[in-house]
Structure 1
Amino acid sequence: MAHETLSRARRTIENTFGILAAKWRIFRRPIRASPENVERIIKACVCLHNYLRLMDNASYTPSGFVDKEGENGEIIPGDWRNTLASSGSTGLQSLSNVSGNRYCFDAVQTRDNFAIYFNSVDGQVPWQVNHVTQDSRTL
């Protein structure tokens, strides 16, 4: 059960960052800004992302755009991966491969802070639990 939860959490996080990188070009490379401005940029993009998902989901993330889990638990890659590959960017970099600088540490801290917040009661939105449990193909 714990392994399934971790796999589902990983798929959700990969989908989230993959969609953001596919839709918002700023996420296709390290953001060179102060940690405070990076946080503002990320929050603005997440707000716009959530708005577009609610208002025009069929166009913003059409069917098959996000990864999904097959009947046997295998991951079926979403089309956001093709969008990033065709742009010449992977979107997601391994933090261990990035040269040493403060941006990497700050990025990890920011990501972890967002994960903690969005997985807490304070970070939930009223429709979130129903939305996730009713349609596993969405964020």
Structure 2
Amino acid sequence: MGSNTWPVDTCRRASADIDAFYDATKQVAHSCDGGVCIGVDGRILEQMVRFKNISNDEIAEGLSLDSLNYADWMGARHMSAYETSLRPDVITTITLSEESGRITVFQDGEYETVEREMIGGPWRGQEDD
């Protein structure tokens, strides 16, 4: 992913300082493309990644690509995060839609999504007139 990196000098762990995590996330959201890998200990890897397509051989036992229920609003990145959640070494994948502000959490081939309006507040500085 080249120069797309997480600012580890600003925030090394997701669980350490919520303000630093927010600032780093805001910086990345406006300037980078790719996935961020966070270990179970909260440590964030510097290099951002792009996941390759998953095969049935790479899926956790009892799960299947055929069982996924793609929603109409899912684009390529959401579908990739959904499929990635089937990998046995992945705990959770989370997406934030730049266009709509939708936040989706994928886990073991299931997902929960919250639209921007349900979170509250203006998006990218938009204010009601």
Q: Structures share a fold, TM > 0.5?
A: no
TM-score by length of 2: 0.25
Instruction: Tell me the TM-score normalised to structure 1 length.
Output: 0.24
Give 1 or 2: higher helix fraction.
Answer: 1
Whichever structure has more strand as a proportion of its residues is: 2
